[in-house]
Amino acid sequence: MFGSLKKVPLRNMWPHEALDFTPWLAENIDSLGLALGLELELIKEEACVGDFSLDLLAKDLSTSKVAIIENQLTQTDHDHLGKLLTYAAGFDASFVIWVAESIREEHRQALEWLNNRTDTETQFFAVVVEVLKIDDSKPAYNFKPIVFPNEWHKSKTKHTASNQASPKGEKYRNYFQYLIDELREKYHFTSARAGQPQNWYTFSSGISGSSFGANFCQGSKVRTELYIDRGDADENMQLLQYLEQHKTTIEAEFGCALSWESIDGKRATRVAIYKDGSIEKSSAAELELITEWHIKNLLKFKSVFTKHLKSFNHVSINTLVD
């Protein structure tokens, strides 16, 4: 009746750690983030710290904080633990992630100790990657968190006045907590789990250099947006102009006119839609309607823009090849 579940050695799938496993992990960083409740976006592979080289440098889109990822095709070892701490210091990382075939008990204890002793701004994760087959089926991978921060413990024992949110910040936190819970549980739109005391929240598009955002902005306005930051102002403008070439089609698919914006004082660009609203001036009923508006338009941004973003990347790659 049932097949036999078998675990496949990682080296059967990825013969070389740097040449095979690290690039694969970079391509599947969304899946790693999903397992950890983070919105991870890759910044760079093989990022240098002195004479050493970090496997993956990333950021958590929901907080804009730095995440570092060190991976192994084997069991964890002391050498990589030392490198992990060196990279964490070198990049001032908030999320420190160690991915391996298995986690030694003493290394699990070390990361648990760090989670219990560091502040709420630094979080350590250890993740086992498994490759599984049922009989002769295709292999499937699974990220299995072994160590993760005890946020309840940290918030109760390490909370200080410096990181307590203002009353307005708490309103933002509560608003975005409800928003991301709805998006995660009902629509599988995000892996994020923690609201932040800030007036914005950013969600991965699955395409590097572009993300979707929900914001409260100046002038008692709220915004839903495609935010473009590929690390270079010229590239950001090129992508915005490419999308504007398809403006008629995009706005017809979206169902209304959109705002196509270069952003004063920033290298980033955006495409956005606005409505009236304020975290402090809007009533509870009005905030509920704003939440529904944010959800509806985030889903529409993803549905409408994803294919155009992929098309731009395809055009860019072909241009480079030519």
Distance between CA atoms of residues 231 and 310, nearest Å: 17
User: Which residues 6+ apart lie within 8 Å of 220 measured at CB?
Assistant: 276, 277, 278, 281
> Which of helix, strand or coil describes residue 263?
coil
Q: Give the residue from 179, 203, 161 showing the smallest Cα distance to 288.
A: 179
Q: What does the pLDDT read at residue 161?
A: 38
Instruction: Look up residue 167 and give its two tokens.
Output: 């009353």
How many helices (H) does the chain have, and how many strands (E)?
10, 12
Going residue by residue through the chain (322 aa), what tens digit of pLDDT does each one get? Answer: 788 999 999 999 999 999 999 999 999 998 999 899 888 989 999 998 888 899 999 999 888 899 999 999 999 999 999 999 999 999 999 999 999 999 999 999 999 999 988 887 899 999 999 999 999 899 999 999 999 887 544 443 333 334 567 889 899 999 999 999 999 999 999 988 888 889 999 998 988 889 999 999 989 999 999 999 988 999 999 999 999 999 999 999 999 999 999 988 889 999 999 999 999 999 999 999 999 999 999 999 999 999 999 888 766 545 543 4
In 3D, which of 114, 287, 290, 307 has the Cα closest to residue 206? 307
pTM exceeding the 0.85 threshold for the entire prediction:
no
Per the listing, tokens 């579940």 go with 5
Residue 133 sits at φ, ψ, to 5 deg, of -135, 150
State the burial class of residue 285 (Cβ atoms within 10 Å of its Cβ: 0-12, 13-18, 19+).
exposed
- The CA distances from residue 213 to 43, 173, 256, 268, in Å, are 18, 15, 18, 13
